Structure 1
Amino acid sequence: MTATAPGKLFLLGEYAVLHGAPALLLAVDRRAAVTATVGGGGSPGWRLTARELGIEALLLGDDGALPTNLAPETREPLALFDAVRREVAAHLEKLDVSPDAGVDIHIDTSPFQQDGHKLGLGSSAAVAAALTAALAAALASVLSRSRGVDLARDELFALADAAHRRAQGGSGSGGDVAASVYGDRILYTRDQPPVHVAWPDGLDLFAVVTGTGSSTVDLVARVADYGRRDPEGHRRDLDALAELAATTKTALENAGSFLTLADDYFRALETLGLHSGADIVTDRHRELRALAAASGAVFKTTGAGGGDLGLVFAKLEATDELQSAFAHAGAAVIPIPTSLDGVRIEAVA
């Protein structure tokens, strides 16, 4: 079985989504692919290949468990694989089925890299979704399908989200996994089904590379530390973000309203970063924001902020000129075609 899942971009609602506010996300048509072959290679053992992680035909335990003697520098990047394996195994156990079959697993995240640099397009969430789908489907192929092993989309999201959170130490909103599972543009509120939304007429969007990368976990941890250090200030800053995020659906009714909201949200994120000591907004971001504003467009950070990518929202008539200006300023433009569908099974062997 080969399953693929798209990456994602947080368009609006970062940080506030962790506290119950809605977030706007876009599924991006750069897809992680996971192939799971039962009994692959002619032997019953489990093997894992993930070339972007430097893993080639790693021999796993009988149930797919990571080897106990695995070096820490190899084990850590495989935390997500192990978390998904555990979630799928627990799901099968709940269904009272025990497939006794080795699986050969190949994970490909090459579309999420450019010139040797990992783009901040949610490769881990895409892998969580695709791996959950592929592994469950492959094991279902050796079981009676009447046993209920095939996953409905909501079940797939629940398993992939739980695995993704476990791999991240319990942090994360689940929005990135929701985008990978359901696809298209969604408004996502924690513990609620996502809502698909339309895009304003005449508004374009593109992404630019803004830095050399940043740690989402580190930035989120710094904001959490701010909450412990100054609960009132933290609550005030998060309330400001939440109030803006709550207006997203209305702002999407026209391009002008959304541009205003995106700019206001950028400034609220900047305030949170200054108060928390987290580099959510950097000097490079401010430089690119000024460049966008000169053409009536809006630059905004995406996700946890820091390095990686930034977003540019602009009226359609200004897009070509803006992309040239950003490229001239050394910010590589990244096409971000929307993936209308989320997880899909590409092939059944």
Structure 2
Amino acid sequence: MIVRAPGKLVLSGAYAVLEGAPALVAAVDRYVLADPARPAALVTDEVQAAIDAGALDRAVWFDASALRAPAPAGSSGAASRKLGLGSSAAILVATLAARAAAAAATRATEAAATTRATRAAAAGQPAPAWDARALFLDALAAHRRAQGGGSGVDVAASVHGGVLCCRLGPGGALDVAPHALPGELAVEVFASDAAARTSDMLERVRALAARDPAAHRALLGAAAEGATAAVAAADARALVAALDRQVDALAELGDRAGAPIVTPALRRLRPAATAEGASLAPSGAGGGDVSIFVGAAPPSAAFIEAARAAGLDRVPMSLGAPGVHVLDAARPPPAPHVSHV
């Protein structure tokens, strides 16, 4: 009984989502696999937090290699690096779902043939292995506890899948709703050869808020305006303009905070993206990891080559992948909701 949970891409609303602005996040067709029948080879901080809270009885084996990339040639240490696709959230969600699925399978095996669950299974309608809402809340609480906060949009993408509009509410509640991106939209993902630590970036931005609250407030306000416009965008051109507004604000925010939210490579490549009617933006906290090219048409061969020369390699993936689910070997997995061009 293999369970898989998708990674995510933050399309819009980075940083500003923590101030109440809407964020757009998409599940991608790169997954963490979890097998409840195999012992855990590694227990992540987030999974341990779920165990400590009583939401999970034990860790399980997982494979998160699809959310990683080979380390740059000549680098020392690990053979791979994270891509910034929300692997910690996907590992946690896959683990919680795998244990829930295993428990449900045990109950079904032990149940009498006359029970409603057994009759439903016989009719081809097995009872759900987990309650999505409860799974989301357990994962959100454990992820925030392990990471010292956060919006939780990566957890939402792994649980629910698709493309989502997320907004923080009172008390840290995360409101989540499906979102339709404009039609005729092309999204390409580029991975940097340098990984970034989200916690480090957020810490520097928080330090700016402490020493210069007016600048912090103004720049996040500008980013929030762009995030709100992105949700309302009815076509690719409007979405590109909304993303560019956010990148401009986040670039200055990073400059003032001493955090490379918009890296030098992205700054050099942005004019080329603009010339093609597109926006080139960091996904999430920035500083490296993955970036997104968003426009009405895919990037040209010349842009892809320029990106490669700048240390950014195209990483194929599709947006709108299904949320966490049991992988049935007897039939193919459900198709993503939104095709990637």
1:173 corresponds to = 151
What CA distance in whole angstroms lies between the structure 2 residues aligned with 1:211 and 1:12?
Answer: 22
Aligned positions of 1:1-349 closer than 5 A: 1-37=1-37, 47-50=39-42, 78-87=44-53, 89-90=54-55, 105-115=60-70, 116-143=80-107, 150-169=129-148, 171-190=149-168, 191-251=173-233, 253-316=234-297, 318-319=299-300, 322-347=303-328
What CA distance in whole angstroms lies between the structure 2 residues aligned with 1:157 and 1:25?
Answer: 15
**Displacement of 1:318 after TM fit?**
4.7
Check conservation: 1:9, 1:27, Cα contact below 8 A: yes
Check conservation: 1:136, 1:149, Cα contact below 8 A: no
| Cα distance per residue 1:149-183 (max 9 Å; x no partner) | 953111111011111111112x2100111011111
Check conservation: 2:6, 2:321, Cα contact below 8 A: no
* One-letter code aligned to 1:175: V
* One-letter code aligned to 1:136: A
What CA distance in whole angstroms lies between the structure 2 residues aligned with 1:193 and 1:276?
Answer: 29
- What's the C-alpha RMSD, in Å, of the aligned pairs? 2.5
Check conservation: 2:151, 2:174, Cα contact below 8 A: no
What CA distance in whole angstroms lies between the structure 2 residues aligned with 1:318 and 1:282?
Answer: 19
Which secondary structure state, in structure 2, belongs to the residue aligned with residue 194 of structure 1?
strand
Which secondary structure state, in structure 2, belongs to the residue aligned with residue 316 of structure 1?
coil
Which secondary structure state, in structure 1, belongs to the residue aligned with residue 312 of structure 2?
coil
* One-letter code aligned to 1:22: P
What CA distance in whole angstroms lies between the structure 1 residues aligned with 2:259 and 2:59?
Answer: 41
What CA distance in whole angstroms lies between the structure 2 residues aligned with 1:20 and 1:230?
Answer: 20
Give the TM-score normalised by structure 2: 0.81
| Cα distance per residue 1:240-289 (max 9 Å; x no partner) | 212221222211x1111111111111001111112222221221120121
In structure 1, stretches of 5+ residues that fail to align are 41-46, 51-76, 92-98
Identical counterparts, % of pairs: 37
Flag the 1:223–1:318 CA change in 2: closer, same or farther, 3 A.
Answer: closer
Moved over 6 A (4+): 144-149
Check conservation: 1:16, 1:238, Cα contact below 8 A: yes
Flag the 1:297–1:173 CA change in 2: closer, same or farther, 3 A.
Answer: same
Check conservation: 1:120, 1:308, Cα contact below 8 A: yes
What CA distance in whole angstroms lies between the structure 1 residues aligned with 2:232 and 2:268?
Answer: 29
Which secondary structure state, in structure 1, belongs to the residue aligned with residue 322 of structure 2?
coil
What CA distance in whole angstroms lies between the structure 2 residues aligned with 1:153 and 1:317?
Answer: 35
